[in-house]
Chain A
């Protein structure tokens, strides 16, 4: 006698109750506040905002708390929330030229107008565990200076003046929105950049690294990396002019890459571009390298068959929310399909064994 297993509903409720308890952890330890995460886990918050495609540090911090620190899960929460938001309109393009730079470095010129500003970077720290942090530390105080008032022009603009760098075609058309239209290939560069900006940091890092190691090598110099706040402006039709609606921090990376040239055109440097929400330097540099690798056709280069050159491969596999969902769905029941495979393999084996025993008998 057999009574079929049931109880999916109760199992789900109990699992979620257990999850909530585990998320809180030991109640003798003080609970993390969303503000603490926002202030002290800022780079995690930045990653969640970047890959979640929503600039809201408080919501990102909440998502990190809710997801127990699983950043892909947090990004998922933000994406699912983002799709439900109504759209009032589009902002004007941000002017990174006018950025209040917290950090601005160039690897191609020792000095340039605006100077080199290291900013709050892990670079040149020795990666030694700081056990003082394990005890309750005091709030560290850094020396301060007044922010320079002179503009910080893009390093690329200096190369541009000499015609050493390829000029980008300008276009007044509004690019398609990846989140509102299905991706169709070949994709425009604007669409590729949209996709890369929200792509998984690890995936893009791996892709960029592969170009450095010879899979479609396009040796990149970081002409400029800048991080800081920019104003977001929006045209208000009723007013007839643009007003500031807020300020966001972004990381921008411009690379100078190998030249192209032809019989009629003298050689020129080419560019890669990365722009990501928040302080997300590794992602922005990776994005610039992958952007450059994907431009092979437009720049008249050979298709070397490298993964980073394959737009379909990169764009279809870089979204961690799509990837993680599909990967993890294989833990859902598949017993109907497996049953049909079982029947098939039993049948094939039976036929093969019959054939073998017939051969042996002859």
Chain B
């Protein structure tokens, strides 16, 4: 791939993206328009995250890619390979060893440090989009801090279902100003949005970048009498026994039998390496994992 620049994008494009990132960090939760490029993977498959990662990667970085919390899902493999090929950076599956982590739909279970950057792939950056389809209108609503519609929606959920019927991409308010879509992470992950690491959000098709600087206040929207509740399946991981991690549900036989396992594969593997065994797990062996 010597025909392409380090991390694929040319330096002018990276500069443009870095400016958008800096602006995003300066105005937490604000969606900064940027001139998204066509990438060699399809829109909707992480092009926003890939462009952000390409703009921030340096040759000394160690890169990790996860999709649904897992390093070995096909699209995570594809993105990790892309940067191995175009940037030649070191890659890892270990959360604690990575300096840049690109993610789709999850925040790693292990707390991130202040020398780590989490890059999110974002499909629809506008939290108000499904209440108001017009971008012209929603930008106006943000600038006027006009978020009544969102509260009405949450209220209607409660009156109809007895609960706020949003389970992922649960809207948050950042530093008391912008209502932001945290990308389609399960609401279980929302409390982790206040962290030591830098969080960058890239939406390629929609041409938006936004950011949460370290230790920024991020509040999940709720009501006093219906407080926000992060939820997960009421089980322990069947492989490593963890009770504090977000779980995937698997159908394991024709009778519809279920089992649960950590969605964060690195978290699960590390626990098993440390001797934890779940109800259906086996003690960790290098080759079996």
Residues of A that sit less than 8 Å from B by CB: 1-4, 6-9, 11-12, 76, 79-80, 82-84, 86, 179-186, 312, 316, 321-322, 324-329, 332-337, 339-344, 347-348, 351-352
Contacts and interface: CB of A to CB of B under 8 A. Distances in A.
A83 B40 CA distance: 10
B74 interface: yes
Contact of A326 (B39, B167, B205, B268): B205
Nearest to A329: B44
A2 B42 contact: no
A202 B37 CA distance: 23
A327 B259 CA distance: 31
Contact of A80 (B39, B69, B135): B39
B280 A1 contact: yes
Nearest to B13: A83
A106 to B, nearest CB: 37
B233 A185 contact: no
A179 B249 contact: no
Contacts of B289: 4, 6
A82 B186 contact: no
**Chain A at the B interface: mostly helix, strand, loop or mixed?**
helix
A334 B163 contact: no
Contact of B261 (A4, A316, A325, A342): A4
A260 to B, nearest CB: 25
Interface of B: 4, 8, 10, 33-40, 42-45, 47, 67-69, 72-78, 104-106, 123, 134-136, 161-163, 165, 167-169, 184-188, 205, 207, 231-233, 238-239, 246-250, 252, 259, 261, 263, 265, 268, 280-282, 288-289
A342 B250 CA distance: 12
Contacts, number: 156
A343 B239 contact: no
**Chain B at the A interface: mostly helix, strand, loop or mixed?**
loop
B247 A11 contact: no
Contacts of B207: 182-183
A8 B74 contact: yes
A8 B72 contact: yes
13 contacts: A76-B38, A182-B35, A312-B134, A316-B135, A326-B205, A329-B45, A336-B68, A336-B184, A336-B263, A340-B187, A340-B188, A343-B233, A348-B162
A182 B72 contact: no
A341 B168 CA distance: 8
Contact of B167 (A79, A325, A333, A341): A341
B67 A332 contact: yes
A329 B167 contact: no
Given A84-B4, A332-B75, A348-B161, A337 B136 contact: no
Nearest to A176: B35
Contacts of B75: 332-333
A352 B162 CA distance: 9
A336 B168 contact: yes
A344 B67 contact: no
A339 B33 contact: no
B121 to A, nearest CB: 10
Nearest to B106: A336
A341 B170 CA distance: 12
Nearest to A77: B40
A341 B233 CA distance: 11
A109 B259 CA distance: 75
Given A4-B289, A182-B207, A336-B263, 6 more contacts: A76-B38, A84-B10, A183-B207, A325-B205, A326-B43, A329-B45
Contacts of A328: 42, 44
Contacts of A332: 45, 67, 74-75, 104
Interface centre among A1, A321, A335 (most CB of B within 10 A): A335
A329 B123 contact: yes
Nearest to A73: B42
Given A2-B259, A351-B162, A334 B35 contact: no
B105 A334 contact: yes
